Amino acid sequence: MTAPLPYKISTLLYCFNEADEVLLMERAQEPNLGLWSPCGGKLHTELGESPYACAAREAEEELGLKISVSELHLTGIVSEHGYQGQSHWLMFLFEVTRRMNALPPSHREGRFQFFGRDVLMDLKIPDTDRERIWPWFWQHRGGFFAAHCHCHPDGTNQWTLEESRVLDQLAVREAIHLANRDPGCLPGH
């Protein structure tokens, strides 16, 4: 019998500049060493940290961006079973509604660059991101999706889209633009 794999919980931050280019980090350490990925980090589960609090903390630690939880939109939740044969992951995918106007400095976890949507699939990115996470992120931007990936030892991935709420993209862009001008206009705030 094989030993059970650890379960890790993380947040990923999908940050954009005024040109709607996404910020990615070329990772200088595992997981995903040498690959381009949204920045983020693991929840401090031992402290009872929420995914929203983790995302805000990671934005400040990795990007120098102090944000409130009201500037986060939960676009997706992805669970990965047996990722790289090392662990199971539960990832909360947050879009940061505030636009960035500068590239964050490099640090021990990697270096940053903005990329247009049209070049993402040409980059060295994780297979799971290429297969489903990026396509579903773009499809559900402003909405929500939940998905599960069973990562098999032979490198194949079996995906299930468990929930899908797609919104009108024009309305979403208008809402984000308005929220950037007046964060108090967001629903529930």
Provide the CA 185 distance to its chain's centre, in angstroms: 24
pLDDT of residue 4: 87
DSSP 70: G
pLDDT of residue 189: 47
Q: Copy the structure tokens of residue 30.
A: 């595992």
pLDDT of residue 44: 97
Provide the CA 96 distance to its chain's centre, in angstroms: 9
Q: All domains of the chain, ordered by start, with CATH?
A: 7-182 (3.90.79.10)
In order along its 189 residues, the chain shows pLDDT tens digits of 567 888 999 999 999 999 999 999 999 998 899 999 999 999 999 999 999 999 999 999 999 999 999 999 999 999 999 888 888 999 999 999 999 999 999 999 999 999 999 999 999 999 999 999 999 999 999 999 999 999 999 999 999 999 999 987 666 666 666 666 665 554 544
Query: To which H or E segment does residue 94 belong?
Result: strand 87-96
CA atoms within 13 A on the CB side of 135: 9
Question: 31 φ, ψ to 5°?
Answer: -75, 160
Say how far apart CA 54 and CA 94 lie, in whole Å: 11
For residue 160, which of 81, 87, 51 has the smallest C-alpha distance?
A: 81
Which value, in Å, is the radius of gyration of the alpha carbons in the chain? 16
Considering all CA atoms of the chain, what is the largest pairwise distance in Å, rounded to the nearest integer?
56
- pTM of the model as a whole: 0.87
